[in-house]
Structure 1
Amino acid sequence: MMRTAFVLALLSFLIGGIARAECRPDRVELRNDLAEVRFDVELAITPKERSRGLMFRESMPNRSGMLFVFDPPQPVAFWMKNTLIPLDMIFVDRAGRVTRVHEGAIPGDLSPIEGGDSVYAVLEINAGLAERYAIRPGSQMRHEVFSQGPAIWPC
C-alpha cells in the first residue's frame, strides 16, 4: 500500500514536471531571481496583426497579454494610437532575454516607444505588472517562438 502511494506520488511529480516544461502558443513564462510568472497571450506575427495590436480594446484580463514577434530581429518602435488601456511593454531578444521594459505607456500617446536595434519579441501586458513581478532587463522569457534559436530558457 505504501509502495503504491509512493509510485503514484512519483508519477504525479514527473507528469507535473513535464506539463510545466511544455510550451504552448497561448502562454509565455517569465522568470528572474525574484519571481516567475505566466501570462496567457495572443500572438501578433503578421504585419496586419502587429499593426492592430491591442487597439480599441477597453480592458484586458490581469494575467493576459499580446506577444508580438519580429522574425528576423529588427529595430522596433511602438506607439499607443487608438490603444485605450495603459500597458507595460517588454522587449526581448532572440534568445528570450528581456532587453528593455517600458512601464506605463499612456493610452492614445503618439510618442514612439523605442525597443532597441535587435528586437525579436515584445510582450504587452497591463501597466503595473512589470513592476509587480520584477520583470526587468535580464529576465528570461519562455515561449515556443524561441525554440528555433539560442533560447536561454528552452521548452
Structure 2
Amino acid sequence: MRTLVAAGAALLISLPLAACSAEDTLVIHSENGDHSFKVEVVDTPETRAKGLMYVQELADDAGMLFDFKESRPVSFWMMNTYIPLDMLFIEADGTVLNIHSNARPHDRTSIPSDGPVQYVLEIPGGVATKLGIEAGDTVEHERIAQ
C-alpha cells in the first residue's frame, strides 16, 4: 500500500498543488488565544497522498488541512517530506484529538491518530508547542461543522 501511495505521489509531483486544492483561513482556539493559519485543503486520495512532500519551506502561519470526508483512524509518515511538521489530528466537530510534534523529515515510521478523525492539519514543526496549542483545543474552518 505504501509503495502505491509513493508511486501515486511521484506521478502527481508534476501537477500544481493549487490545481488540486483551495487556500483558506483556519483558526485554532486555544487557552492562550486564537491562532490563524493560511491552509491549503486537500481532499482527494491523490492530493492527500502528495501532501507536503517535496516542500522545502513553510511559513509559521501556513499549513495543509487534510479532509478525509469521514471519521476514521488515520496515519501519516514523512517519506519525501523535507521539513519537520506538527500533525494535529482533528475530530469531525473540530476538536483536536492528539498532536504529533516535530515529525522527522524522511522518517517512514507510522504516525497514527489516537482514534477516528476527519481532519489532519500539518503545520511547521514546533509551532504548536510555541503557540501553546494542545489536544482539546478547537479548530474553526469552513469545512468543519461546529
TM-score range, shorter chain: 0.7 to 0.9
2:87 to 84, 89, 95: 89
Residues 36 and 133, structure 1, Cα contact 8 Å, conserved in 2: no
C-alpha change, 1:25 and 1:144, in structure 2 (3 Å) is: farther
Residue 100 of structure 1 corresponds to 98
Residue 38 of structure 2 corresponds to 40
Q: 2:128 is paired with a residue of what secondary structure?
A: helix
Output the aligned Cα RMSD.
1.3
> Which segments of structure 1 move beyond 6 Å, counting only runs of 4 or more?
none
Structure 2 portions without partners, runs of 5+: 1-21
Question: How many equivalent pairs are there?
Answer: 125
CA distance in 2, matches of 1:61, 1:33: 23
Residue 4 of structure 2 corresponds to none
Structure 1 portions without partners, runs of 5+: 1-23
The Cα shift of 1:60 comes to: 1.0
The Cα shift of 1:25 comes to: 5.5
Residue 130 of structure 1 corresponds to 128
C-alpha change, 1:54 and 1:25, in structure 2 (3 Å) is: closer
Q: 2:116 is paired with a residue of what secondary structure?
A: strand
- Percent same amino acid among aligned pairs? 37
Residues 69 and 120, structure 1, Cα contact 8 Å, conserved in 2: yes
Residues 23 and 38, structure 2, Cα contact 8 Å, conserved in 1: no
CA distance in 1, matches of 2:25, 2:107: 28
TM-score, scaled relative to structure 1: 0.78
Q: 2:88 is paired with a residue of what secondary structure?
A: strand
